[in-house]
């Protein structure tokens, strides 16, 4: 089955760190750009980070710049998001998503999401 | 960064209605726009890409139009399964911004 499966979410105190992972199955991520998108409770979608197919170009939203790092391991077919200096406002469901052939393409596959709660 | 603004924020409609949602970009983005449907507790689902191309498996009652800075998503005859929240997203520049969403309710 072709799917993305996120893991690593949980409850973390403000200032802490968390690492999310996304495992792809049924296809090879090495041909595609990938992204993390988040959704705070009751709110809309917010793109967080994007990485190109080779992993040598990354882009981050201003809200997470300097705190979050996106990376990928094409040999293991996985995508990661290292989140440092977490804030209460980072509380959200985090989705990994596959972008089409290029960086500038629609998000054509999404995982089911993993919840991150930042609270003391 | 490019900002995306959807209207309306909420739309009340009935089964069989023709529904139109508008998305405006703060600057011209060509046709680099997608539409997604999201139901409560579920991941978003791609409906339309490149402003007017229907994603495989999406019913033909969904259509997209527009280019430049103004875009529309139309549902020609609303079905019970279509009650959901819809988001537009631009992918023309290095900020893959989403609109704030339009909730289609009964």
Which residue in chain B has the smallest CA separation from A113? B43
Quickly count helices (H) and strands (E) in chain B: 0, 10
pLDDT of residue B49: 97
User: Is there a contact between A46 and B43 if contact means CB atoms under 8 Å apart?
Assistant: no
Cα A5 to Cα A43: distance, rounded to the nearest angstrom = 22
User: Is there a contact between A110 and B43 if contact means CB atoms under 8 Å apart?
Assistant: yes
Averaged pLDDT score across all residues of chain B: 97
pLDDT of residue A99: 96
Q: What is the mean pLDDT of residues B71-79?
A: 98
User: Is there a contact between B100 and A44 if contact means CB atoms under 8 Å apart?
Assistant: yes
Q: Which of A107, A111, A114 to mutate to test the interface with B (most CBs of B within 10 A)?
A: A107
A84 prior amide bond cis, ω within 30: no
The partner residues of A21 in beta bridges, in order of sequence, read: A7, A80
pLDDT single digits (tens) A24-52: 999 999 999 999 999 999 999 999 999 99
DSSP A18-42: EEEEEEEESS-GGGS-EEEEEE-TT
Residues 6+ apart with CB under 8 A from A36: A20, A22, A47, A48, A49, A68, A70, A79, A81, A94, A95, A96, A97
pLDDT single digits (tens) A72-115: 999 999 999 999 999 999 999 999 999 988 889 999 999 999 99
pLDDT of residue B12: 97
User: Is there a contact between A44 and B50 if contact means CB atoms under 8 Å apart?
Assistant: no
Residues of A with Cβ-Cβ distance to B23 under 8 angstroms? none
User: Is there a contact between A45 and B32 if contact means CB atoms under 8 Å apart?
Assistant: no
Cα B29 to Cα B2: distance, rounded to the nearest angstrom = 9
Which residue in chain B has the smallest CA separation from A36? B96
Q: Which residue has the higher pLDDT, A4 or B106?
A: A4
pLDDT of residue A20: 98
Residue B95 has pLDDT above 90, yes or no: no
State how far the alpha carbon of A51 is from the alpha carbons of A24, A36, A46, A116, B58, in Å: 15, 9, 16, 21, 27
pLDDT of residue A100: 82
Cα B70 to Cα B6: distance, rounded to the nearest angstrom = 10
Residues of A with Cβ-Cβ distance to B94 under 8 angstroms? 50, 59
Q: Which of B6, B35, B43 to mutate to test the interface with A (most CBs of A within 10 A)?
A: B43
The partner residues of A20 in beta bridges, in order of sequence, read: A81
Confidence of residue B98 (pLDDT cuts 50, 70, 90): very high
Confidence of residue B93 (pLDDT cuts 50, 70, 90): confident
A58-60 and B62-67 strand pairing:
unpaired
User: Is there a contact between B95 and A107 if contact means CB atoms under 8 Å apart?
Assistant: no
């Amino acid at each position: 089955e072709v799917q993305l499966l996120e893991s690593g979410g949980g409850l973390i105190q403000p200032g802490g760190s968390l690492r999310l992972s996304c495992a792809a199955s049924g296809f090879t991520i090495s041909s595609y750009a990938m992204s993390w998108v988040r959704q705070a409770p009751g709110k809309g979608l917010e793109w967080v980070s994007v990485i190109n197919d080779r992993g040598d170009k990354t882009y981050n939203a201003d809200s997470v710049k300097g705190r979050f790092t996106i990376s990928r391991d094409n040999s293991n077919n996985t995508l990661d998001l290292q989140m440092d200096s977490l804030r209460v406002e980072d509380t959200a469901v985090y989705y990994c998503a596959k972008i089409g052939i290029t960086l500038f393409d629609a998000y054509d596959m999404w995982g089911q999401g993993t919840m991150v709660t930042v609270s003391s | 960064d490019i900002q995306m603004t959807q209207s309306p924020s909420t739309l009340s409609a009935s089964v069989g209605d023709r529904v139109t949602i508008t998305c405006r970009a703060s600057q011209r983005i060509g046709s680099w726009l997608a539409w997604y449907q999201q139901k409560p507790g579920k991941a978003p689902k791609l409906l339309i890409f490149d402003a007017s191309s229907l994603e495989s498996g999406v019913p033909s009652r969904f259509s997209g139009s527009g280019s430049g800075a103004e875009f529309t998503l139309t549902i020609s005859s609303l079905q019970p399964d279509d009650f959901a929240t819809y988001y537009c997203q631009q992918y023309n520049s290095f900020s893959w911004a989403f609109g704030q969403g339009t909730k289609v309710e009964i």
